[in-house]
Structure 1
């Protein structure tokens, strides 16, 4: 048989511990929700990707090593230290820039 009365006051340190655990649980739930919200905002598509042409014809002897695309131009870096600037369609070579080593 249980002889302990049910209406004993809760010890102060136990009450503090219970409140602390409840507070930490709420903070952790809030932190997880914040991280999920930040991931959704960061990974959501913000604008359309640039449209790339199917094919770009490089000058004779040029081999591309890198490129960048903006809404106004396509820039291609070649192995022979040149930057070729094309129009956004990739059809017209606008400018050639020689890079000095």
Structure 2
């Protein structure tokens, strides 16, 4: 026996209207772009998260002025700065990265 009722005539496939063909093409292209985007994001995450950072290069000893204690530290390309606290107040000491010599002292008021 056939699953198709005998009173239903054999219909020929109906061609989709042009607007639906265009919509189908857009959905297909969007799917491809989304898949490609997810692959690129995963690639970038894997390559960037597994990269080792550059080692932090500092002098062996940093000599602070008498009575100053360190509260913060930051580093630039050829310098590093130490924020210090003392009885006189806070100061920012900027040192040369290569030699460790004091370049500048800025008093914070």
Tell me how far 1:8 sits from its aligned partner: 3.4
For residue 85 of structure 1, what is the aligned residue in structure 2? 94
Select the structure of larger CA radius of gyration: 2
Structure 2 partner of 1:73: 79
Residue 12 of structure 1 aligns to a residue whose secondary structure is coil
Closer, same or farther in 2 for the Cα pair 1:22/1:35, shift >3 Å?
Answer: same
1:77 is displaced (CA, Å) by 1.3
May I ask how many residue pairs the two structures share in their alignment?
100
RMSD: 3.8
* Residue range with higher mean Cα deviation, 23-32 or 34-43: 34-43
Structure with the higher strand share, 1 or 2: 2
The alignment's TM-score, normalised by the length of structure 2, stands at: 0.57
- Which runs of structure 2 are paired with 1:21-36 in the superposition (5 Å)? 21-36=27-42
Q: Tell me if the contact between 1:50 and 1:70 (Cα under 8 Å) persists in the aligned partners.
A: no
TM-score relative to the length of structure 1: 0.60
Partner of 1:48: 54
Write out per-residue CA displacement over residues 47-100 of structure 1, whole angstroms, 9 at most, x where no aligned residue. 83441234423222212222222242221111232111222156433332223x
CA offset at residue 29 of structure 1? 0.8
